[in-house]
Structure 1
Amino acid sequence: MFKGSSITVHDVNPEAQVANHGLLKYPHRLNFYDIPPTFDVTIEEFETCGLDRLRILAEIESSAARNRTAEELKDVTLKQNNKYLPLNMSKGSNGETDGERRRDHLSHFVLRLAFCRSEDLRRRFVKAETTLFKVRYDTDLGPERASFLSSRNFNWIPVESEEQKRFSQELAAAYQGNRTETGRPEKEKYYKVKWTRVPDLVERRKVFLKGGWAYVPSRELSSIIFQEFEDHLQKALEMTARLLPRLDEDTRLVPILDNLSQGFLAGISAEWTSAADAGNAENIKAEQIDGIAKKHFPLCMRTLHENLLRDHHLKHFGRLQYGLFLKVLGVSIEEAIVFWRKSFSLMTDDKFNKEYKYNIRHSYGLEGKRANYAAKSCMQILTPGPSDHGCPYRNYSPENLQTALLSTYSQQGLRAADLPEIMASVKTQHYHVACTRVFELTHSSFGVGRGEGISGENVTHPNEYAARSMELARPKDEEMVTE
């Protein structure tokens, strides 16, 4: 329900309306998100919180697609979490604990609305959210985690000492556990749950099964907790999906949810809006663009550049996408006009001035409503459209893409043996992961290793790719000039 420029957030699960979490403090850092937020928030906060959480979840999914180890995944997730949705411990907090947990609470339910609308989105959301919960659980302080666990009923049954003694050999065979200095197994407390609640432990043969019950050692109780979180979220998403049409949605809300649901496609990044952001204090001259393109551009912009050289022309949306990219990269309006005029060499000056010069000035905010247009991000480029200005990783056939990659980047170190890994990411629609891997392979001579990408994250913006590439090459270029 909207109130002016704000929105009151409610879950669509009526059973969850039994309490008003907006009037309560947040006693725990961990959260099963049973109770929806019912406080007023502005539309801006609604969208910002959703985007911040999506940045974390998108990086989690990208890490899984890149087969990062469990420790690498944990490190990346913690880094993203601390950057976008920090959650301090209650003990020794900086006084902002409740506000941080409020944003975490709100952001989860914003994305729950966005990702409940298809089975694939629900599956991906549950997987990423469960990973985020696991990382937070593993890094939570012991006493705070124990307090959270005692606040919930996980329906596990403590195994009595007599029963534990009766099955001691079977329990010892199923779970080795830690051992004392004498080599004997440490005493372990066991709990019984239905075996279907711990499929991961059953698969790894780490529990004793008897009569449909799984005997779970206390050290492995986290498996029950994680499975409970996943099942609970899956059911909540399905109920939200069934009841979503009942919501009286404002037309301002639907585009936000649509934009968020597209976020997994290319990750989410901050807008790359100025040449200063790109790390280029100096202006790029028109005659430098071709050389820079061949060394530093991502495949989407390299393709546009090559098409422009070949045809001496680009269609409207191709010109818009490439022109804004060059603008943000550091090409001034004067140099842009020189570059485009030279590129459109088959037409007369009169035709160029009448039909194209105005649009170039418009994109720089010098005509029309004089807006400062941002360059297109990967998510915007990945929106389905004509192949001449879209994402090659998405639009090209596998054969054409491999040919384009080798012809474009072979001189920068890309080999045919690298293609299967890149194409595997393309096949699973992780296009930004494929582009990131190309960046790593073509910049290995600058010390960029596997999994490092753009400052440790995935490519989510063409200007980000080009700016980082130019930044890496700058010390080497300066060294050559000095010599």
Structure 2
Amino acid sequence: MEKLAKTAGPEVEQHSGLKYPHLLNLYDVPPLEDITIEEFETCAIDRLRVLSEIESSFARNRSFDELKKITIAQCNKHIPMAETTATTVDRDAQRRADVIGHFVLRLAFCRSEELRRRFVKAETTLFRVRYDSCSGTERKNFLNSRDFASIQVTPDEKTLYAPQLQALSFGNERVATTEFYKVKWTRVPDLVERRKVFLRGGYAFVPSREQSSIIFQEFQARLEKALEMTAKALPRLDEDTRLMPVLGNLSQAFLAGVPSDWSPAENNGEEIRADMIDELSRKHFPACMRNLQDNLRRDHHLKHFGRLQYGLFLKTLGLSIEEALLFWRKSFSGFTDDQFNKNYKYNIRHSYGLEGKRANYPGKSCQQILTSDQPGATDSHGCPYRHFSPDNLQTALLSMYSSQGLTSADLPEILSTVKAGHYHVACTRVYEITHAHQGVKKGEGIGSGESVTHPNQYSKESRNLEKALIEEVKMEIDGGDVTMGV
């Protein structure tokens, strides 16, 4: 019996000068060249954005086709990988960044069994998407370059087991022309479960069309083993003050969502007035900011971290310093002018970079809200999806969003997502439900299937939908007037 052929075709020879000759990679060789701290962090975050959307897709029960479409879009945006035949891009540079990102995340996610499990699942899915999406030539060259310990079934064996193989291949003619490979049955449990293989003597006879399962299982097994070895070596890095904070932040990303590459600087700079905020909160604010506004309206006060979280959000939304002072003064109606100026005015100006070290502070991302300045029992800041009890969260969501279409029937799905720790996915689902009347469908998120990772991102996209609807109605009215005039 002969091993699966590994002869490199002419396509491999043509690109033999590449350091990374294949788009697909089992990541069994770590990067050995010098890597800057900036590369170390940037490559990992870019890859983590893709893995985070993959895990979000699992949490939202998307089909593989939906997951594949979203993952490809995220890969093109954050970790593009051109095929080997492409000559107009630096393929080695793309693949180098891909390898660096993968191995940095190994360091970040090898720390616990739970993190390792989630990382393996997301990485294996990413590999599968790339495998399914690349050209047949790319796949063939990759398979020919590796030995997956698959034994090719001989013609005599095909004849001997033809009736059994026929059940897999739908006809004698198909059996004769189809290639089969033998592997230990434990390497393809998914095919055994689905009865896609013939079992004999501890081996599974795998038709060539199901060969990908062997590859995926091999990828998963190698990565699981590599993560365990990495976990044992990780203590050697404990004294490196440059790397450990980066790895610590990365390992929190599945909990809080990856820091969004959406920047407040991308906002359209449209200014809002103090008297607009209450109405805007009812239509366009995520639960964290809606909760702060509701508490401020009720109590005429917010504690320090609540003012900080909400004030930076409003600043990024487009509230000028002059309007901010008007808003906070009116909201803190139980205080005299002297009390307000003495206790609060300086901090408001400081957040706008007008006092102290004059730094221009941006609005807090979802990750910052989830992981820093944890709220106490009497605080209003934080993330309701994480920091509220299930009963309080249900009550709060119905109070905030029932007028926008959210009903008690939607709550089990949202609470299930919260229970699994996917807080940003729960927030995204609320966004989809409350904007369904504006054409947002389940799974679309805030665009291209992306999840919410910044409160200002939520508000901006919500306002953009409203503006687009108003513009559409205006165009219809103008068109009607023209028609009537004719």
Letter in 1 for 2:462: S
1:455 aligns with 2:447: yes
1:55 aligns with 2:39: no
1:140 aligns with 2:134: yes
Corresponding position of 1:340: 328
Q: 1:295, 1:124 → 2: CA distance?
A: 35
Corresponding position of 1:386: 375
Instruction: Give the Å deviation of 1:213.
Output: 0.8
Q: 2:399, 2:328 → 1: CA distance?
A: 25
Q: 1:270, 1:184 → 2: CA distance?
A: 50
Corresponding position of 2:143: 149
Corresponding position of 1:10: none
Name which of 290, 295, 306 aligns with 1:318. Answer: 306
Corresponding position of 1:406: 398
Letter in 2 for 1:141: S
Structure 2 gaps, min length 5: 1-16, 478-486
Name which of 231, 238, 248 aligns with 1:258. Answer: 248
Instruction: Give the Å deviation of 1:218.
Output: 1.2
1:99 aligns with 2:93: yes
Corresponding position of 2:5: none
The more displaced of 346-355 and 127-136 is 346-355
For residues 155-191 of structure 1, give each alpha carbon's deviation from its aligned partner in whole angstroms, at most 9, with x where no partner exists: 1111111111111111122x135x79xx966721111
The more displaced of 246-255 and 374-383 is 246-255
For residues 370-422 of structure 1, give each alpha carbon's deviation from its aligned partner in whole angstroms, at most 9, with x where no partner exists: 11111111111111611521110111111111111111101001111111111
Conserved? CA contact 2:162–2:175, under 8 Å: no
Conserved? CA contact 1:312–1:345, under 8 Å: yes
Name which of 26, 30, 37 aligns with 1:32. Answer: 26
Letter in 2 for 1:439: Y
Instruction: Give the Å deviation of 1:271.
Output: 5.4
Instruction: Give the Å deviation of 1:82.
Output: 0.7
Instruction: Give the Å deviation of 1:144.
Output: 2.2
Closer/same/farther in 2, CA of residues 162 and 436 from structure 1, 3 Å limit: same
Corresponding position of 1:277: 266
Conserved? CA contact 2:295–2:302, under 8 Å: yes
Corresponding position of 1:429: 421
Conserved? CA contact 2:312–2:362, under 8 Å: yes
Question: The residue matched to 1:334 in structure 2 has which SS?
Answer: helix
Question: The residue matched to 1:235 in structure 2 has which SS?
Answer: helix
Aligned length: 455
For residues 199-224 of structure 1, give each alpha carbon's deviation from its aligned partner in whole angstroms, at most 9, with x where no partner exists: 00000001011111111111111101
Conserved? CA contact 2:50–2:78, under 8 Å: yes
Corresponding position of 1:158: 152
1:396 aligns with 2:379: no
Instruction: Give the Å deviation of 1:30.
Output: 0.7
For residues 338-363 of structure 1, give each alpha carbon's deviation from its aligned partner in whole angstroms, at most 9, with x where no partner exists: 10111111111111111111111111
Q: 2:362, 2:238 → 1: CA distance?
A: 33
1:189 aligns with 2:179: yes
Name which of 291, 296, 304 aligns with 2:292. Answer: 304
Structure 1 gaps, min length 5: 1-22
Letter in 1 for 2:266: D
Corresponding position of 1:443: 435
Corresponding position of 1:474: 467
Conserved? CA contact 1:271–1:377, under 8 Å: no
Conserved? CA contact 2:18–2:92, under 8 Å: no
The more displaced of 249-258 and 332-341 is 249-258
For residues 219-256 of structure 1, give each alpha carbon's deviation from its aligned partner in whole angstroms, at most 9, with x where no partner exists: 11110100000000000000000111123642121111
Q: Percent identity?
A: 64
- Aligned pairs for 1:330-369 within 5 A: 330-369=318-357
1:222 aligns with 2:212: yes
Q: 1:50, 1:310 → 2: CA distance?
A: 43
Closer/same/farther in 2, CA of residues 47 and 399 from structure 1, 3 Å limit: same
Instruction: Give the Å deviation of 1:24.
Output: 7.2
Q: 2:126, 2:474 → 1: CA distance?
A: 47
Question: The residue matched to 2:177 in structure 1 has which SS?
Answer: coil
Q: 1:450, 1:266 → 2: CA distance?
A: 21
Question: The residue matched to 2:35 in structure 1 has which SS?
Answer: strand
TM-score (norm: length of structure 2): 0.90
The more displaced of 146-155 and 43-52 is 146-155
Instruction: Give the Å deviation of 1:133.
Output: 0.4
Q: 1:372, 1:176 → 2: CA distance?
A: 65
Q: 1:427, 1:244 → 2: CA distance?
A: 30
Computed over aligned residues only, the root mean square deviation of the Cα atoms, in angstroms, reads: 1.9
Corresponding position of 2:37: 43
Conserved? CA contact 1:90–1:97, under 8 Å: yes
Letter in 1 for 2:384: P
Q: 1:140, 1:272 → 2: CA distance?
A: 29
For residues 295-352 of structure 1, give each alpha carbon's deviation from its aligned partner in whole angstroms, at most 9, with x where no partner exists: 1100000001111111111111111000000000000011001101111111111111
For residues 415-470 of structure 1, give each alpha carbon's deviation from its aligned partner in whole angstroms, at most 9, with x where no partner exists: 11111111111111111111111101100111111111111211111101111111
Conserved? CA contact 1:296–1:469, under 8 Å: yes
Letter in 1 for 2:397: L
Closer/same/farther in 2, CA of residues 95 and 412 from structure 1, 3 Å limit: closer
Question: The residue matched to 2:181 in structure 1 has which SS?
Answer: strand
Corresponding position of 2:195: 205
Letter in 1 for 2:329: R
Instruction: Give the Å deviation of 1:478.
Output: 5.6
Q: 1:216, 1:185 → 2: CA distance?
A: 12
1:129 aligns with 2:123: yes
Letter in 1 for 2:129: V
Name which of 273, 281, 284 aligns with 1:293. Answer: 281
The more displaced of 262-271 and 346-355 is 262-271
